[in-house]
A and B are shown apart, each in its own frame.
Chain A
Amino acid sequence: MRVGFLVGILSSIAALAGPVQAGTVVGKLELPPPPERGPVTARGFVDRIENPLADIKKPSLAPYLVVTLEGEGRADAAPAQVSWDVVGESFVRPVVAVPVGAEVVIKNQTKIARNLAAAEDPKLLTGPLNPAGTKSFRAAQPAVYTIGDQDAPHLRGKLVVVATPHVAAVDDSGRFEISDVPDGSYKLRVFYYDPLGEAHGKPSGWLFTTDVTVAPKGRSTRTEVNAKLPPLTAAAGKK
Chain B
Amino acid sequence: MTTRDRARRIGRAGMAVTLLGLAGLAGVYVRALAYTPVERSQGAAQKIFYVHVPAAWSALVAISVTGLLSILYLWLKDRRIDLAAAASAEVGVAFATIMLTTGPIWGKPIWGTWWTWDARLTSTLFLFLLFVGYLVLRGVLTDPGIRGRFSAVIGIMGLVLVPFIHLTVYLFRTLHPAPIVLKPSAPSLPGVMLVTLFSSLGVFTVLYVGFMMQRYALGLLRELREEELAGAAG
Q: Do A and B bind each other?
A: no
